[in-house]
């Protein structure tokens, strides 16, 4: 087994690289990484052969296909993607180019040269669109933004790759991924709500709530928050589970519990022991009313979330945040 982690300089990709080496006891010599950005400071990427183990390339670059084939990599954990829902509503073509076209180029090059391996694909709850109840994998896919549409397209490509070429794939539909892992916390650099809340609090500027008139108990959007640790576990667990059962699979990675934007803010205020300035604004294009996922399919094969209690995630983030500010 040789593993490639795409998007290895991003939030989930970087955490997963450390997780798979440190907690799953996979030899660092068997883990390879790629990102179009220069590699970040990550202990799992440090090696006496960094040029051998890291490929600076976009997914669509021929250089990456050569890297995979030359090193006989047989497993791809695919995290690389543009993932800003709001941005995708105004710049949709960049999402189809980066998330779909580049992935198509990579797979075309690999197939042409006879590659047979496994792909663990980072998909998203954005594939579903608007539902007012808990969502399971058999629900129709009806995305309401270009980001979600791009994820549906990649899943469809993977279905064809299984039907025609026998390439096994597992698409994990993440709900809202939050939290930190060890020494890595995506501090201010992502569009995730938790980071935005802390940024607003630190800089004494209002945190903007987009829409307070949704048909939810308090009028704000409801989301299912899953810890980064449980997302990483789901990636490696499903890969190991399906080593002897090839096919094309889709799973929700979720808790089955929803929390509104206002509830999240209230929880942050509880741990910060302070109030957060809030500005109520109009609804934002592309935002589903509610996204809460049923995780029964993963539970049936033995996976359950272990560290995704919302209060514990937020409490740990606040503690880590205070530590950073004290340095």
Per-residue model confidence as pLDDT tens digits over 184-196: 555 445 557 898 9
Yes or no: say if 152 and 98 are a contact pair by the CB < 8 Å rule. Answer: no
**What residues make up the domain containing 272?**
193-223+257-326
User: 261 pLDDT band (50/70/90 cuts)?
Assistant: very high
Half-sphere exposure in the Cβ direction for 249 (13 Å, CA):
21
Is residue 242 predicted with pLDDT exceeding 90? yes
User: 278 pLDDT band (50/70/90 cuts)?
Assistant: very high
Q: Does residue 184 fall inside a structural domain? A: no
Q: Does residue 132 fall inside a structural domain? A: yes
Q: Does residue 183 fall inside a structural domain? A: no
Same domain flag for 63 and 212: no
User: 39 pLDDT band (50/70/90 cuts)?
Assistant: low
- Whole-number pLDDT of residue 112: 97
The token pair that represents 164 in the structure block:
């025609």
User: 264 pLDDT band (50/70/90 cuts)?
Assistant: very high
**Overall average pLDDT of the 193-215 stretch:** 94
Same domain flag for 239 and 314: no
Same domain flag for 169 and 311: no
**Block residue for tokens 């892992």:** 181
- Whole-number pLDDT of residue 48: 36
Secondary structure (3-state) at 33: strand
- Whole-number pLDDT of residue 69: 97
Same domain flag for 96 and 9: yes
Same domain flag for 125 and 208: no
Q: How far is CA 263 from the centre of its chain?
A: 22
Yes or no: say if 104 and 65 are a contact pair by the CB < 8 Å rule. Answer: no
The token pair that represents 311 in the structure block:
């209060």
> DSSP letter at 216?
S
User: 183 pLDDT band (50/70/90 cuts)?
Assistant: low
The token pair that represents 216 in the structure block:
């939810």
Nearest to 51 by CA among 67, 37, 69: 67
pLDDT tens track for 213-235: 999 999 999 999 999 999 999 99
Q: Does residue 296 fall inside a structural domain? A: yes
Secondary structure (3-state) at 26: coil
Q: First vs last Cα of the chain: how many Å apart?
A: 41
Same domain flag for 233 and 207: no
Residues 6 or more apart in contact with residue 113 via CB below 8 angstroms: 65, 69
Q: Does residue 186 fall inside a structural domain? A: no
The CATH code of the domain that includes 265 is: 3.90.25.10
- Whole-number pLDDT of residue 9: 83
Same domain flag for 89 and 231: yes
Q: Does residue 72 fall inside a structural domain? A: yes
- Whole-number pLDDT of residue 38: 62
Is residue 237 predicted with pLDDT exceeding 50? yes
Secondary structure (3-state) at 246: coil
- Whole-number pLDDT of residue 45: 53
Same domain flag for 142 and 242: yes
Which of 211, 235, 253 finishes a domain?
Answer: 253
pLDDT tens track for 55-86: 889 999 999 999 999 999 999 999 999 988 88
Residue % of the chain over a pLDDT of 70: 91
Same domain flag for 282 and 217: yes
CA distance 246 to 262: 43
Same domain flag for 108 and 197: no
**Overall average pLDDT of the 104-110 stretch:** 98
Is residue 41 predicted with pLDDT exceeding 60? no
The CATH code of the domain that includes 233 is: 3.40.50.720
pLDDT tens track for 109-120: 999 999 999 999
Secondary structure (3-state) at 156: helix
Same domain flag for 127 and 28: yes
Q: Does residue 307 fall inside a structural domain? A: yes
**Block residue for tokens 């340095």:** 327
Q: Does residue 155 fall inside a structural domain? A: yes
- Whole-number pLDDT of residue 25: 74
Same domain flag for 54 and 153: yes
Question: Strands of 3-6's sheet, edge to edge?
Answer: 54-56, 31-35, 3-6, 75-78, 118-124, 168-174, 248-253
**Overall average pLDDT of the 161-172 stretch:** 98
CA distance 98 to 103: 8
Secondary structure (3-state) at 124: strand
Number of compact structural domains in the chain: 2
């Amino acid at each position: 087994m040789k593993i490639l982690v795409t998007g290895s300089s991003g939030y989930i990709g970087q955490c997963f690289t450390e997780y798979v080496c440190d907690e799953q006891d996979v030899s660092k010599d068997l883990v390879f990484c790629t990102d179009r950005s220069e590699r970040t400071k990550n202990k799992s990427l440090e090696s006496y052969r960094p040029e051998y183990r890291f490929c600076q390339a976009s997914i669509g670059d021929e250089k990456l296909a050569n890297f995979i084939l030359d090193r006989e990599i047989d497993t791809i954990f695919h995290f690389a993607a543009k993932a800003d829902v709001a941005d995708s509503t105004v710049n949709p073509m960049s999402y189809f180019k980066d998330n779909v076209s580049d992935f198509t180029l990579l797979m075309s090059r690999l197939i042409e040269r006879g590659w047979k391996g496994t792909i663990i694909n980072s998909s998203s709850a954005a594939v579903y669109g608007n539902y007012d109840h808990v969502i399971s994998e058999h629900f129709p896919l009806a995305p309401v933004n270009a980001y979600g549409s791009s994820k549906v397209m990649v899943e469809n490509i993977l279905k064809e790759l299984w039907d025609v070429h026998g390439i096994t794939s597992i698409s994990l539909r993440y709900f809202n991924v939050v939290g930190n892992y060890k020494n890595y916390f995506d501090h201010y650099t992502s569009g995730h709500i938790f980071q935005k809340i802390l940024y607003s609090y630190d800089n004494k500027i209002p945190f903007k709530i987009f829409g307070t008139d949704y048909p939810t108990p308090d009028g704000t959007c409801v989301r299912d928050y899953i810890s980064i640790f449980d997302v990483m576990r789901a990636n490696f667990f499903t890969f190991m589970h399906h080593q002897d059962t090839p096919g094309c699979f889709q799973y929700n990675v979720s808790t089955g519990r929803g929390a509104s934007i206002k509830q999240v803010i209230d929880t942050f205020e509880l741990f910060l022991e302070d109030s957060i300035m809030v500005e109520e604004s109009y609804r934002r294009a592309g935002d589903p009313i509610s996204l809460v996922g049923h995780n029964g399919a993963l539970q049936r094969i033995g996976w359950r979330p272990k560290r995704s209690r919302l209060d514990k995630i937020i409490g740990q983030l606040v503690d880590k945040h205070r530590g950073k500010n004290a340095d």
